[in-house]
Amino acid sequence: MFITSANTKFRDDKSGKPGAQGSFKWRQVRKLIALATPYRRMLLAGLLATVVFALLHTASIAGVFPVLKTLLEEEGVEGWVNRTIAGERVGIEFNPLSDESRIEIRATRLQSEEDTTALRPGDAILPPDGQTAVELLHTMGALEPGATITVTVETRDGRIQRTLTADTPDFSQRMMRSGLRAVLAVLPDDMDTQDGKLRTLVHILIGLVLIVFIGNAFRYAGEILIATAILRSMMDLRAKLYAQTLHLPLSFFAEQPTSDVVTRFVQDIQEVQRGLTTFFGKFLREPLKAMLILCLAFTLDWRITLTMVVVAPITVGVFWAVGRKVKKAARRLLQGYGYMIDALTTSLQNLRVVKAYTAEDQEHARLRVVDRHMFKQQLKLAKLHAFVSPTVETLAVVAGSIVTVWLAGRVLNHELSLSKFVQLGVTLGMLFDPLRRLTDVYVRVKRSTAGVDRILTLLAEPVETDEQETANPVGPLENGIEFVGVSFTYPGAERPALVDINLSVAKGETMAVVGPNGCGKTTLVSMLPRLLVPGSGEVRYDGANLQDIQLRSLRKQIGVVTQEAVVFAGTPAMNIAYGNGDPVADKVEDAARRAYADEFIRDIPGGYDADLGERGTTLSGGQRQRLAIARAIYRNAPILIFDEATSQIDSESELKIQTALQEFAKDRTTFIIAHRLSTIQFANRIIVMEAGRIIDSGGHKELFDRCDLYRTLCQTQFLAEPAEPTP
């Protein structure tokens, strides 16, 4: 992507693997989850707390049933438990008790249709004299496995005696009875009276409140543990990105906009953080809640699964269709943030020029183009968000309505109690709530995978390393430096920046490199500290190929002063000692004096401990340049690369810079990209470059006499008459 004017052009982000923008794939989610695995213990603890919350949440929903039983039906909680257990033990489904003198049969599995004397729906079991229906049910539920009980049955043809055999109680029956005993231990004894029912209701509601409180306490603890693990993971991920980015070769940034890299630190990381938070929060919690609620629904009535049969496949289809577009739009949006940062930073950093040329409207138009690009992607994501949730919710309401009508029909046919109908309705509503929440979760996780792809793509880029594992460290230069057949082409460039460079520089020699803009001067000197690697040929340090030398030890031998003097946020002392550990006060002041920087540093409020601000904007161009030279002096490297600045330097600063440079260059091997005649004249040798080639070399006088390009440079670019070199 490049931005040249209001007619901004955008290129698709090519980061990530081909086809990665397709439908939801677990390998993408695995890459997302892998970022948080260093804190898996904390995550597991958080997930365990989430499981406890989901269990207690389901228990609170199940607790609605006893409330309804207490409020809506005469039999109450104890009667319902006894009736349910007794019926399952003897193979009969009983209607809710409405009369203490009879137990009506709803259904039975003990006989075939041919058995004319068998029990049938509508028949009723009559308790023995002196016993209530509840007591008889309790007796049947407590029978030993295989035991029998003879009961009186009232049929349409009269009363008959029948013997019932008890099955072995299953796990659910044992749990129901144990639960009943635990509940009855804390409930009032007079649950059959109106006042007792009210007190029972109060006790049940207090229990529900406690369950909800404890459940939400676990939810809070789980979310805090998960958030802590994810935030630490993002901090570690940023640290990896810092290390990776700082070790990327300069050739990477020639092809990849710096703003796009910055966006990966900010917006992409934020998307990943949101995705992980959503995944370990809602993405796991909501399905778990749905599964547990579904299990509860199964215990109430298995036919509730019809709802899932109707909704689930359609929901999956909606997710699949939307997911294909979400990731692509998210990736383009993240790329758009990079464009916006680039455009905005460029405008603000060059605000003096913008205002001087009254180009505010032009810059505003340029930023509007970038903003419109982002608006399109944001609107596309908003539409996808807006489409998924209502669609799934509508499907859920349709399916829920169908099931509700079906359940209501069963109530009207006296096949289902009113309290159970309400409980099923509540369960159905609570079942679809986590499914509805998952619609937003899916889009959020899908968006985060775009950020994961872009981050992992950056982390996979090759970094600067020693070519050989056995690379040798080097010390100060002893003989000299050689460029042997060096050629280099920047990625995407149409022509090479350097063509077959052959050059030898002796130890202690000061060499100036001159030529028109774009001739390859900076590219040439960038080969020495291996900021750039030759496409062909070799650069040799005391006869050894730089590729065979330990990179860190090589750069320790070189001091660099760039054309744009770089000042970091911090104090003058920190800037001078940059890259060399904590500042040593005496050494810092000595370097500043030799660079003629001490005089202006002491005039700053705070002196060497003053805060210079971002990029040292409080300093003049000459002051920043002298501070950069002091940094090179402090490093005391045997090789100096000096890219002489020509802008924002007054004559006084120029004189001091030249003096400092000449003094420091003594007995050092120095490469100077020269823009001033005074600098050229004190060099031992001058190299003239054009179109990536060395076309001549020699002293100032001889080059002026024989080299047309050099003469032209002296008369135009250097703005000075030829003169003899300074002795």
Summarised one tens digit per residue, pLDDT across range 464-473 is 776 555 678 8
Distance CA 631, CA 575 (A): 7
Pairing of strands 510-514, 92-94: unpaired
Handedness of CA 288, 293, 295, 296 (dihedral sign): positive
Q: Helix or strand or coil: residue 217? A: helix
Q: Which class for 370: exposed (0-12), middle (13-18), buried (19 or more C-beta within 10 A)?
A: buried
Per-residue pLDDT band for 688 (boundaries 50, 70, 90) equals very high
Per-residue pLDDT band for 499 (boundaries 50, 70, 90) equals very high
Lowest mean pLDDT, pick from 241-255, 345-359, 570-584? 345-359
Closest CA to 100 of 164, 180, 192, 187: 192
CA 483-479-473 angle, 5° bins: 85
Q: Helix or strand or coil: residue 481? A: strand
Q: What is the CATH number of domain 35-60+207-459?
A: 1.20.1560.10
Between the CA of residue 589 and those of 546, 573, 578, 606, 633, what are the distances in Å? 34, 8, 14, 14, 11
- What tens digit of pLDDT does each residue of 181-228 get? 666 566 665 555 666 667 767 777 787 788 888 988 998 898 889 888
Tokens of 581: 């550990």
More confident residue, 709 or 16: 709
> Cβ of 50: how many Cβ atoms within 10 Å?
23
Per-residue pLDDT band for 506 (boundaries 50, 70, 90) equals very high
Per-residue pLDDT band for 352 (boundaries 50, 70, 90) equals low
Closest CA to 389 of 489, 325, 319, 479: 319
Pairing of strands 693-698, 92-94: unpaired
Residue 15 has pLDDT above 50, yes or no: no
Closest CA to 600 of 586, 621, 583, 585: 621
Who contacts 210 (Cβ-Cβ below 8 Å, separation ≥6)? none
**Matching fold, domains 35-60+207-459 and 75-190:** no
Amino acid 16: pLDDT = 42
Q: Which residues on neighbouring strands pair with residue 124, listed in sequence order?
A: 104, 154
Q: Tell me what the mean pLDDT of segment 43-59 comes to.
A: 84
Lowest mean pLDDT, pick from 141-145, 440-444, 535-539? 440-444
Amino acid 317: pLDDT = 60
Amino acid 718: pLDDT = 61
pTM: 0.63
Q: Helix or strand or coil: residue 277? A: helix
Q: Which CATH superfamily is domain 75-190 in?
A: PDZ domain (2.30.42.10)
Amino acid 331: pLDDT = 67
Would you kindly state where each structural domain of the chain is located, as residue ranges? Answer: 35-60+207-459, 75-190
Helix (H) or strand (E) holding 590: helix 585-594
What is the distance between the terminal CA atoms of the chain, rounded to a whole angstrom?
A: 51
Closest CA to 639 of 474, 399, 418: 474
